[in-house]
Amino acid sequence: MTSDLFDITAAAQLPPDLVDALARSRAERGVFGERVLHVFETGSTNDLAARLAAGGAAEGTTVVAEAQSAGRGRLGRSWFSPPGAGLYASVVIRPDADGGRPLLPSLVTLLAGVALVDAVRETSGLLSQIKWPNDVVVGRRKLGGILAEASAQGSTLDWVVLGFGINVCETAYPRDVAVRATSLEAELGRTVDRAWLLVRVLVNLAGARDALRRDQVTGSLDRWLALSPSARGADVEWRARDGVRRGRTAGLDDDGALRVETGGRIERVIAGEIMWL
Write down the CATH superfamily of domain 6-226.
Bira Bifunctional Protein; Domain 2 (3.30.930.10)
* Residue 266 vs residue 173, higher pLDDT: 266
**What are the contacts of 136-141 at 24+ separation with CB within 8 A?**
136/166, 138/182, 138/187, 140/180, 141/180, 141/181, 141/182
Over 80: is that where the pLDDT of 77 sits? Answer: no
Domain boundary assignment for the chain: 6-226, 231-276
Give dist(CA 71, CA 165) in Å, integer: 9
Fold (CATH) for 231-276 = SH3 type barrels. (2.30.30)
Element (H, E) at 222: helix 218-226
**Model pTM?**
0.90
- For the residues 77-84, what does the mean pLDDT come to? 77
Q: What does the alpha-carbon distance between residue 163 and residue 93 come to, in Å, rounded to a whole number?
A: 11
What does the pLDDT look like over 45-71, one tens digit per residue?
999 999 999 999 999 999 999 998 877
Confidence grade of residue 263 (pLDDT, cut at 50, 70, 90): confident
Higher pLDDT, 55 or 153: 55
225's enclosing H/E stretch is: helix 218-226
Q: Rounded to whole angstroms, how far apart are CA atoms 160 and 10?
A: 26
215-224 residue pLDDT tens: 888 899 999 9
Instruction: Count CA atoms closer than 13 A to 59's CA, side-chain side.
Output: 17
> What's the mean pLDDT in 148-175?
90
Q: Any idea what the Cα angle at residue 123 is, between residues 63 and 159, rounded to 5°? A: 30
- Tell me, what's the pLDDT at 2? 40
Whether residue 6 is predicted with pLDDT greater than 60 in this model: the reply is: no
- Backbone dihedral angles phi then psi of residue 134, each to the nearest 5 degrees: -145, 20
| pLDDT higher at 76 or 109 | 109
